[in-house]
Structure 1
């Protein structure tokens, strides 16, 4: 069971472990996921947004149709606040920056994503350097948009893929960690019933 950080009659906030699907995949071996585990305690739970299989951190699930509609719209309209922490390969130059390369699915190599200036969808990430470490550079990442694998591909585009990334990092960067060093540490949104702003934090486990 993912760690439950908060629950009321409208929503549940959980801390997803790395290497767990957000929703079921195709095949019997891909049925274990955050959604099914949460449903064991909260049978009406509905997925609002997803984290990659390899990414850990904060997710909110809705407990009824109205809350699901409200929260889904908040994510689509970018009225939520999300920040991630990662360790990227190499020495990232500068203190802050942004990446705006458009992304699309690499259909021949699904589920990988690629930068495509002609057919890609708008994608925007801002980053802030936190500190240099033995394995690379620790950064805070803010996804302004929410494309699939956005943070991973944008960091790869900068020449600093995320350490432990089995999709986008070279072997040397994969070898530094058994897991992807990407964690959704902060999540903020307004409550679907009261409108009150809620903020959650999940400590970085690496």
Structure 2
């Protein structure tokens, strides 16, 4: 057998079953089912001894993963993600445009989290899970829970509207300088505040606007639908658009730039900002900080 990966267990808060702990420690096996298969095939060892799903570990163990010469190799997801904040409870990562957060596809942010984040040493550590959605074509910050308690508490923060999200979009057409949109979505109350930061004249689109958006609710496609209601759809949007004003090949110009909240366990203020993608700055070259600095 050929050695694939080695993992050294840090000192844990309390002993945990190996089958639960092992999820996410190997880049080549990101899933719980994959770990179970590898253990069953006799490819995982703990301190040189064949691993079992029921064994408890407490720290300082050396875990090795081998690949059988007679079996096919594991399908390996190679997805490098930028991590902007991380501790044992949660993480904030950057989701590039054009990747699903989760779903039945192999290449998703959810499947790539374990290989990019450190394994939590807390007793209720689980496979890292996204806490909220970002549309496939949207870029920006994604909040991730690393323990059962963190996933629950972060979900409560979103439900109670205690996590402030700020987006930036480039929109088509003429807009008022500031305002709000409260058009219902799926017969549910929805609210978005907006501020136009800059406008340029466009031969094809008449006007293009750099807009700061702060949703107060979290409906599906809320920002895209709300801006469409104003007849100022987001540039590159192929679902909510004005006739003859579709931009192809550049993707959606919507970016989740800032997450602002109080850490539910350490109680520290978390404020993370990710700069605008280059496709934004090609249209608005002066749109990076201090333009993106926020005062609350």
TM-score (norm 2): 0.60
Within the candidate set 269, 275, 282, 1:203 is matched to 275
- State the Cα deviation string for residues 28-49 of structure 1 (Å, max 9, x = none): xx23111111122336201211
> In the TM superposition, what are the counterparts of 1:81-160 in structure 2 within 5 Å?
81-92=164-175, 94-104=176-186, 120-133=187-200, 134=202, 136-160=208-232
The alignment partner of 1:174 has SS state of coil
For 2:115, the equivalent position in structure 1 comes to 40
**1:44-83 correspondence to structure 2 within 5 Å:** 44-83=127-166
Select the residue among 240, 246, 249 that pairs with 1:168. Answer: 240
Gaps of 5+ in 1: 105-119
Is the Cα–Cα contact under 8 Å of residues 165 and 173 in structure 1 kept in the other structure? no
- 2:194 touches 2:213 (CA, 8 Å); kept in 1? yes
Q: State the alpha-carbon separation in 1 of the partners of residues 222 and 256 from structure 2.
A: 13
8 Å contact from structure 2 (residues 81, 116) kept in 1: no
Deviation, structure 1 residue 177: 5.7
TM-score by length of 1: 0.85
When Rg is computed on C-alpha atoms for both structures, the one with the higher figure is 2
Q: Where does structure 2 lack aligned partners over 5 or more consecutive residues?
A: 1-79, 120-126, 281-296
Question: Which is bigger in relative contact order (C-alpha 8 A, separation at least 6)?
Answer: 1
- Equivalences, count: 186
Q: Is the 8 A contact 1:23 1:34 kept in 2?
A: yes
- Are the counterparts in 2 of residues 16 and 56 from structure 1 also a CA contact under 8 Å? yes
Distance 1:86 1:177 in 2: 17
* Poorly superposed stretches of 4+, deviation over 3 Å: 170-173
Q: Shift of the alpha carbon at 1:173?
A: 3.3
Q: Kindly provide the CA deviation profile for residues 98-125 of structure 1, in whole angstroms up to 9, marking residues without a partner as x.
A: 1111112xxxxxxxxxxxxxxx111101
Tell whether the 8 Å contact from 2:231 to 2:242 is kept in structure 1 after alignment: no
User: 1:10 touches 1:192 (CA, 8 Å); kept in 2?
Assistant: no
8 Å Cα contact 1:24/1:32 also seen in 2: no
Q: Per the alignment, in what secondary structure is the counterpart of residue 259 of structure 2?
A: strand
